[in-house]
Amino acid sequence: MERIHTNQAPQAIGPYSQAIRTGSFIFASGQIPLTIDGVLVEGDIEAQTHQVMKNIQAVLQAANADLNRVVKTTIFLMDMDDFQQVNHIYGEWFGDHRPARSCVQVAQLPKGARVEIEAIAVVE
């Protein structure tokens, strides 16, 4: 098991790793819309979702992977009314790649974020 760490994504805000690689799998912790300085991106759900995807991409790159290696994601939303906007941006980032996915509405997310996404990727 290998702990994945990068300075190109926000640091963990608790006792966990940005990602863990075990065998061929990379388990990326949920990313919220924090900049690398740990500042929450203010503004609409679109801006927050783009930041989340940038963070996921940076963590995967630190593990020598990319979004095309993702096999499963889970999206956590504060408000399911944001689903269409998040879904559109998510689709832009993944392009034709279509990992399995779940999406749930939650009561609260860390730091007042409106969206969090976690990912599982497979590497050769």
* Contacts (Cβ under 8 Å, ≥6 apart) of 76: 30, 103, 104, 105, 106, 109, 115, 116, 117, 118
Give the span between the Cα atoms of 114 and 82, in whole angstroms.
9
Catalytic residues: 103
Q: How many CB atoms lie within 10 A of CB 28?
A: 28
Count of alpha carbons within 13 angstroms of residue 79, beta-carbon side: 8
